[in-house]
Amino acid sequence: MNGNELTTRSENKMVTDQTWNTLYKQAAEIIKSGFLPPSIKTPAQAIAVILTGRELGIGMMEAFRGIHIIDNRPSISPQLMMSLIYNSGVAENIKIESTATECIVSGNRKGQPAVTIKFTTEDAKSMGLLFRDNWKKQQQNMLRWRAISAWARLTCPDVIGGLYTPEELENSDDVIGKNEATLELSEKLNTDTAAYDTWREVTTTAILDDLAACKIDSDVRRVNRKYQKDIGQMLDEDRQYCLDQIDSRLQEIITDAGPKGEPIIKEEEKEAVMAQETPNKATPEELLEAKEKHSQEFGRQAVADINTCKTKAALNVLKASVKFISGRAGCNIVMKEYIDACLANAYNKIKT
Is there a contact between 274 and 314 (Cβ–Cβ < 8 Å)?
Answer: no
How many angstroms separate the first and last alpha carbons of the chain?
28
Angle between helices 236-256 and 193-212 (to 10 degrees): 0
The whole-number pLDDT of residue 256 equals 57
For residue 268, name the pLDDT band (cuts at 50, 70, 90): very low
Q: Which of 135-139, 153-157, 298-302 has the lowest mean pLDDT?
A: 135-139
Please give the pLDDT value at position 340.
84
103-120 pLDDT per residue, tens: 999 999 998 999 999 999
pLDDT tens digits for 31-63? 888 888 877 888 888 888 998 998 899 999 999
**Average pLDDT in the 290-298 region?**
87
Percentage of the chain beyond pLDDT 90 is: 16
Pairing mode, strands 67-70 and 91-98: unpaired
pLDDT of residue 84: 93
Q: What is the pLDDT of residue 87?
A: 92
Answer left, alpha or beta for residue 67, where phi above 0 means left and psi between -120 and 50 means alpha. Answer: beta
> For 75, left (φ over 0), alpha (ψ -120 to 50), or beta?
beta
Instruction: Provide the residue ranges of all domains of the chain, joining segments of one domain with +.
Output: 3-68, 81-176, 191-256, 267-349
State the pLDDT at residue 171: 59
State the pLDDT confidence band at 130, using cuts at 50, 70 and 90: confident
Q: How confident is the model at residue 273 (pLDDT cuts 50, 70, 90)?
A: very low
On the CB side of 217, CA atoms within 13 Å amount to 20
Average pLDDT score over the chain: 78
Alpha helix ranges (H) inside 193-332 = 193-212, 217-226, 228-232, 236-256, 267-275, 284-308, 312-320, 322-329
96 DSSP β-pair partners: 105
What are 173-229's pLDDT values in tens digits?
Answer: 444 333 344 444 555 555 566 777 778 888 888 888 888 888 888 888 888 888 887
pLDDT digits (tens, 9 = 90+) for 311-340: 877 777 677 665 777 788 788 888 888 888
d(CA 25, CA 30): 9
How does residue 283 score in pLDDT terms, banded at 50, 70 and 90?
confident
Q: What is the pTM of this model?
A: 0.49
Q: Give yes or no for residue 287 having a pLDDT over 90.
A: no
